[in-house]
Structure 1
Amino acid sequence: MKFVLGALMLSSAWAGGAIAQDVPERDDAATGQRQEIVITAARTNLPVSALPLTVDIIDRETLARQVTVSGSVVDAVSALLPAFSPTREKITGVGETLRGRSPLYAINGIPQTTPIRDGARDGYTIDPFFIDRIEVIYGSNALQGIGATGGVVNQVTVSAPKGDGWSGRTLLQGNAGDDFSGASLGGKVAGLLNFRSGRFDATGGVAFERRGVFLDGRGRRVGYDGNQSEIQDTDTLSFFGRAGFDLSSTARFEVIANRFRLQGNNHYVPVDGSRVRGIPATTRRGQTPGQPSTGVAQMVSASLTDSDLGGGAFTLQGFYNRTSDTFAGGILATFQDARIAPVGTLFDQSRNVSRKLGGKVSYERAVPGFEALTLTAGFDALLDRTAQTLVQTDRTWVPQTDFRSLAPFAQGNLKLFDGVVRLAGGVRYENVQLDIPDYTTLATANARFVTGGKPSFDRALWNGGVVLEPVTGIRAYGSYAEGYTIADIGRVLRGISQPNIRIDNFLDLTPVISNNREVGVEVTRGPLIASGTYYRSSSVAGQVLVRNDDGIFNVVRQPIDIDGLELNLDVRIPLPGLRVGTGYSHVTGRTDTNADGILDADLDGANISPDRLNLNVDYNRGPLSARVQGRYYLSRRFEGQPIANDFSGYQLFDAYVAYDLSIGRVMLSVQNIADADYVTYYSDTQGPTDNARFYTGRGRNFTLSWQAGF
């Protein structure tokens, strides 16, 4: 396979701008027929076969079942896609990667990531009950602007009802740890109501979820992250609304609103473990000092679309997005200030508040008289204002900073030889400016006064690619795409400790440009779905997370090279309703730690995922469906890193069984069915002397759910 992929290597790519494309879904297990669905994250109406991209679609049915097993969108994506790293099993996404780089989370194409001070909670901004499907575009690209150095994870919300009248669905579920103790009990109730009358339609929904404590494979309570906060022992309350009006048979105006709030219940406090003795961190009953850790995400968007405006497709979208994240606190070294309290006694916690305003406009049309060539042009704008403060002492940690991005783009796609060959290419021009006020750093950064400024950069991001489809169902492609982000500015600003600093002269706003080269082969013939992809992603001035002793990360700019191979096979075997699948991801990453121009060390576990093998067996026939899935995370030695950070590997198995009744669907799922006792990947590969963050993973967990629609 490596030889085949290598022989197909081409230097070109896609990174233009989004609306809709048809992409084949996996085979329907009951009919054996392939279905076409619309993907919105690729910003084109062309079919996916015309684009040199690797794309995965997680439909609502698959997502709903996987979320019942694993509990969240992030865990579901990680469980299903081998190229996604193991999650930390916490609310924070620090160290969670796609193809060794950070993915951009979006809702209907609206970015959830904060470019100035990444709070790393962008995977928890909407309840999965309101998501119709998830579109994953692999590899660095600029499809949605800043942040997609690893790819795009776009969460598409529920669609408008088709028929007049009322419709809806409900969900009731409960879950418990292996001992069924009261502390581990949790549950969820959710409902969604639709209405359509002629051209007008509306949807409203609410979801409430309570999570108990997590138990590991030995029945111990899983340790709490006293810095980044937790997903266990929390309550989530979410609201969703959508209203639309069909202006014509092709034009539509729509408004969508979402509010997501997750708050800790403060029933437990952390208890350190001992790495030397092999005792993991845990918790005990008690109230966490300070305010409860909380994450609030609010979003409103309005869109106007017309699929036949002047013979082309037009999209106009505007949005407002606000997040407020309060982190769990601690007597952390970074927060100490002898002017306020004796060093080693000062408790504090931080809050990250971000507000985004943005707009997108695009138009796509085949060239009149030369319909083989499709052109897309558009313009994106994003204004982000972010500040991070310390809650208990009202100190500024990251000053209120404004980020402005203006980006016109153009893309072309040329069909040759009746579609046997496709050429794609284009450019996106990014113009970015920051506005940073004067501020003073914390005492632990020497309380330095910093003179603000307005650093900026502009950069053209190029792409090009070729697709070959000699036979229907067999496709090969090669691509080159540039994605970009900027180093976490907040981490840089709060870490300044030198005197007489002026931002205009100090801050290196050189973007992290990730150059993604990729070749792939896909086969979809009869009962077989198979693919193989080789990619290489490099950055001359990359972004590497380096961990302090207190668990807080700093950003270091170092060259990065990442190579990876992905193989996937899905087969419908002769037994009715039965399907088996496997997926494999191999990734390596190297960096230059001493600026001598030589890549001398592996990227560690905070920056790259382990090799991994997925296996699954699905049965779907009549009212009965079931699945057993296994994830094998393979051991890894990180050359150039401390031996204590080597990864020993572990295996996890999950299962579910569902049955359709006349009154709805009943499903029983079991996470970690073997009740494996393991240290999570992140904990195993970071902080070899950090006993506070020596976390085991979640043990066997049962979930019973009932869902019905009308």
Structure 2
Amino acid sequence: MKSLVKRRQLCAAVLFSLAIGTGNAVAQLGGDESAEAEERAGVLEEILVSATRTARTDKAISNKVTFVESEEIRIQQTLSLNPTDMLSNLLPSYSPSRQKLTGLGEAFRGRSPLLLIDGVPQSNPLRDGSRDGFTIDLAVVEEVEIVYGANAIQGLGATGGIINYKTLSPSRTGELEQRAELGFTSDDDFHSNSSGWRANYIIGQRVGRWDFIASATYEDRGLFYDGDDEPVGIDETQGDIADSETWNFFAKLGFEPDENQRIQLMVNSFNLQMQDNYVSVDGDRSQGIPTTSIKGSTPGEPAENDVTTITLNYGHLDFLGGRFSAQVYRQDFSSNFGGGTFGIFQDPLIAPVGTHFDQSQNNSEKTGVRFTQVYNQVFDSPLSVIVGVDYLEDETAQALIFSGRDWVPETRFKNTAPFAQLDWDVTEWIQLTGGARFESAKLDVADYESLAGNRSDFQRVPVQGGSPDFDETLINFGGVVRPNEALSLYGTYSEGFSMPDVGRVLRGVNTFDTQVESFLDLAPLITDNLEFGAEYATDRFNVQVAWFESTSDFGVRLVPDADGVFTVNREETRIDGWEISGKFRFTDWVSLGAGIALLDGRFDSDDDGSVDSDLGAQDVGSDRMNLFLDITPPGNFSYRLQSFTYFDNTFRNAAGAATAEFDGYTTVDALVAWAVHPTTQLSLGISNLFDEQYLTYYSQAGNTRNDRYNAGRGRTLTLRANFRF
């Protein structure tokens, strides 16, 4: 049971600890522009890349929407271990980060978020390897748009919300601008194997009607150490960011034939690979001993993410009387997982049972097209219309590298979705919105043979393929009321559409005479999101409150077997919660902010139509509170202090018995930035300032394995130098 007393104690401790903070000393590409050029460029960019598919401001959207600016992204880069750490730091409803390459067990409002790069989906819905959090380096991200709650505005996958990474754009001044970054990271004892470094270079310019920007990044990460100065356990199977290296190459080329049109090509190539210098040593849950790491290497190929994303965008501000945007994209996504002699890999026709080593590789190739046409104030009325159509084709397979077998057969998913949205400005202070999206999806699976390891008698099971299809109409409606300039009230109902992890279902077949088209478990996941919220904002004070409920009559829950391989359970699920955030600016250079999320998730364990058991830590994040203090006085120094408190929780089944326990913890980060010169800045970030020793949320309550009983990273120092020239 959640302890209110413990929450109050932790809140008091964190409030007492706040002393200093940071703000605006992060250098970035930019320049002065005329107001007209700035406005036109901003509108063109917005219709090319927008998480909301419309140019309406966030104040007129009946959803909770957050924008993370480049300044905050650079701050979190110095304090966070990875992109999912940043999301967890900034979004209280996002699960505590596992601090691993895998995002399995990380959720947004208890559901899966749809991660996008310039509108391109990063998820692989047919075989979700939980690696979509590592497809781009944050150095080339200019802004992050977050739309909360299930919705279908971007199509498949947004059952928890949309997180869109908007990439850098060049300055429009015409000057050649360059930026370089050097960084060094280490634990507080400066162990030689804990040190890491990174280098980034960015160049951009606008020449006439052409512009370009390009970037190259390299990062080498050392081993992580916990608060007791012990090496953190490496995740050899799902993948780790410790002891890894990353390359990221980014380029964007733009051309504007006239003041109303823009054509833009973006290419991003990302590779993260473990260096395979360490192996994990199991911990002992009964004794409270975390998993650790020692020198060594694992058989097979190292865990790796290799992702290339390409987009071609076109935008027109005056096309057939409206604003038109089109996008064509392509993504190749390959991810290696660590291997082992897991039971599922055994086959007596290949090697004696218990001796065969194998490992898997996910491969997904996505191609998509998106068209959007916006008509504002149709016939000079208060009505705006947005229409469009999206098409997605995804080809996915999961192969076993050493034996050449298909664990998940090649599967093709085709999804066509026309949509229409109406926005009605009833008065100056009332806006209503509503729309529908028709999802037509088809899955093609050829005949295949499931692995012998699925059965105790090790018989290979032939499975008859098929082409199940699904048609769903998803609706949304809502409204915003602004009785005055400071207060905004909203309410919304929206539906999201996703597929269950089809690959997990297909690879787990162990019954003869099975036909793909008869799988009830391949039915789509429809999530209903009901939300009410309010915001009050003045020059110095801002507070937001939101309540939401997310339900699915046929939801998805992952259940692990003895080897840690997850299978899919389809059950009714319900998640609800409160989110409260605010910021108070005491002076022009001192501000304090806070964010609180209280989440509750339940599922129907006995199929009687009533949710009766707690969803686990792998499904729903912890109740938590985030605090930050920024101090940006006149002069060359600025400061940030931020803290994260995760509250205790006990997870219970339908009988009231405890199924998992989570002992909460608090961590504090600090950063100081020094503007040495108008073109040079140094920053020092210290994450886990007080060197708190803790077991991560997922390690404590999300699994029961001794090899995944991981401590969090201890006090870590990051020094970065940024140069503009």
Q: Note whether the superposition's TM-score is higher than 0.5.
A: yes
Match of 1:673 among 665, 672, 689: 689
Counterpart-to-counterpart distance in 1, 2:51 and 2:378: 26
Match of 1:686 among 679, 702, 711: 702
One-letter identity of the residue aligned with 1:80: L
Counterpart-to-counterpart distance in 2, 1:616 and 1:130: 25
1:312 aligns with 2:328: no
One-letter identity of the residue aligned with 2:381: E
Counterpart-to-counterpart distance in 2, 1:207 and 1:147: 29
Q: Deviations over 1:9-36 (max 9, x none)?
A: xxxxxxxxxxxxxxxxx99899xxxx99
Q: Deviations over 1:164-215 (max 9, x none)?
A: 1311211100000121011000010000111221101111110000000000
One-letter identity of the residue aligned with 1:494: R
Counterpart-to-counterpart distance in 2, 1:27 and 1:109: 28
Pairing 1:38-117 to 2, within 5 Å after superposition: 40-117=50-127
Counterpart-to-counterpart distance in 2, 1:273 and 1:644: 20
Q: Deviations over 1:228-280 (max 9, x none)?
A: 11111000011001111011112100100000001110101111111111111
Counterpart-to-counterpart distance in 2, 1:360 and 1:414: 24
Structure 1 residue 507 displacement after superposition:
4.8
Structure 1 residue 365 displacement after superposition:
0.7
Partner of 2:586: 573
Partner of 1:436: 445
Partner of 2:663: 648
Counterpart-to-counterpart distance in 2, 1:269 and 1:102: 30
Pairing 1:626-665 to 2, within 5 Å after superposition: 626-640=639-653, 643=658, 645-662=660-677, 663-665=679-681
Give the conservation status (yes or no) of the 8 Å contact 1:226–1:330.
no
One-letter identity of the residue aligned with 1:674: F
Structure 1 residue 287 displacement after superposition:
1.3
Give the conservation status (yes or no) of the 8 Å contact 2:25–2:674.
no
Counterpart-to-counterpart distance in 2, 1:568 and 1:707: 31
Counterpart-to-counterpart distance in 2, 1:661 and 1:311: 51
Give the conservation status (yes or no) of the 8 Å contact 2:80–2:687.
yes
Q: Deviations over 1:80-99 (max 9, x none)?
A: 11111101110111111111
Structure 1 residue 701 displacement after superposition:
0.4
Counterpart-to-counterpart distance in 1, 2:589 and 2:104: 39
1:584 aligns with 2:581: no
Structure 1 residue 333 displacement after superposition:
2.1
Counterpart-to-counterpart distance in 2, 1:166 and 1:487: 47
Q: 1:307 to 1:621 in 2, by over 3 A?
A: farther
Counterpart-to-counterpart distance in 1, 2:407 and 2:434: 42
SS in 2 for 1:621: coil
1:287 aligns with 2:293: no
Pairing 1:269-668 to 2, within 5 Å after superposition: 269-417=279-427, 419-446=428-455, 447-574=460-587, 576-622=588-634, 623-640=636-653, 643=658, 645-662=660-677, 663-668=679-684
Partner of 1:164: 174
Partner of 1:17: none
Counterpart-to-counterpart distance in 2, 1:90 and 1:277: 23
Give the conservation status (yes or no) of the 8 Å contact 1:29–1:621.
no
Give the conservation status (yes or no) of the 8 Å contact 1:456–1:509.
no
Counterpart-to-counterpart distance in 1, 2:585 and 2:574: 37
Give the conservation status (yes or no) of the 8 Å contact 1:178–1:215.
no
SS in 1 for 2:75: helix
Give the conservation status (yes or no) of the 8 Å contact 2:333–2:363.
yes
Counterpart-to-counterpart distance in 2, 1:200 and 1:465: 41
Counterpart-to-counterpart distance in 2, 1:253 and 1:326: 35
Partner of 1:212: 222
Q: 1:250 to 1:621 in 2, by over 3 A?
A: farther
One-letter identity of the residue aligned with 1:180: F
SS in 2 for 1:224: coil
| TM-score, with length taken from structure 2 | 0.91
> What is the number of equivalent residue pairs in this alignment?
678
One-letter identity of the residue aligned with 2:591: R
Runs of 4+ in 1 over 6 A off after TM superposition: 26-30
Structure 2: gaps spanning 5 or more residues: 1-21, 27-37
Give the conservation status (yes or no) of the 8 Å contact 2:23–2:640.
no
Farther off after superposition, 503-512 or 581-590: 503-512
Give the conservation status (yes or no) of the 8 Å contact 2:414–2:442.
yes
Q: Deviations over 1:397-453 (max 9, x none)?
A: 000000000000000000012x21111000000000000011111111232100100
1:173 aligns with 2:190: no
Q: 1:701 to 1:27 in 2, by over 3 A?
A: closer
Give the conservation status (yes or no) of the 8 Å contact 2:283–2:291.
yes
One-letter identity of the residue aligned with 1:549: A
One-letter identity of the residue aligned with 2:302: P
Partner of 2:33: none
SS in 2 for 1:638: strand
Structure 1 residue 498 displacement after superposition:
0.5
One-letter identity of the residue aligned with 2:478: G
One-letter identity of the residue aligned with 1:242: K
Counterpart-to-counterpart distance in 2, 1:508 and 1:495: 11
One-letter identity of the residue aligned with 1:263: Q
SS in 2 for 1:76: helix
One-letter identity of the residue aligned with 1:89: Q
Q: 1:480 to 1:28 in 2, by over 3 A?
A: farther
Q: Deviations over 1:605-658 (max 9, x none)?
A: 010011001111111133221111111100011121863621111111111000
SS in 2 for 1:646: strand
Structure 1 residue 308 displacement after superposition:
2.4
Partner of 2:32: none
One-letter identity of the residue aligned with 1:473: A
SS in 2 for 1:218: coil
Match of 2:712 among 694, 697, 705: 697
Structure 1 residue 687 displacement after superposition:
2.9
1:130 aligns with 2:164: no
Give the conservation status (yes or no) of the 8 Å contact 2:366–2:393.
yes
Give the conservation status (yes or no) of the 8 Å contact 1:549–1:687.
no
Structure 1 residue 510 displacement after superposition:
2.1
Q: 1:645 to 1:598 in 2, by over 3 A?
A: same
Farther off after superposition, 440-449 or 297-306: 440-449
One-letter identity of the residue aligned with 1:46: R
Structure 1 residue 679 displacement after superposition:
0.6
Partner of 2:266: 256
Give the conservation status (yes or no) of the 8 Å contact 2:172–2:205.
no
Give the conservation status (yes or no) of the 8 Å contact 1:29–1:577.
no
Counterpart-to-counterpart distance in 1, 2:393 and 2:386: 24
Counterpart-to-counterpart distance in 2, 1:256 and 1:66: 25
SS in 1 for 2:143: strand
Q: Deviations over 1:118-167 (max 9, x none)?
A: 11111100111110011111100111101110001100000132121311
Q: Deviations over 1:498-538 (max 9, x none)?
A: 00111122354321111000000001112001000000010
Give the conservation status (yes or no) of the 8 Å contact 1:457–1:509.
no
Counterpart-to-counterpart distance in 2, 1:128 and 1:111: 17
Structure 1: gaps spanning 5 or more residues: 1-25
Partner of 1:10: none
Counterpart-to-counterpart distance in 2, 1:505 and 1:309: 46
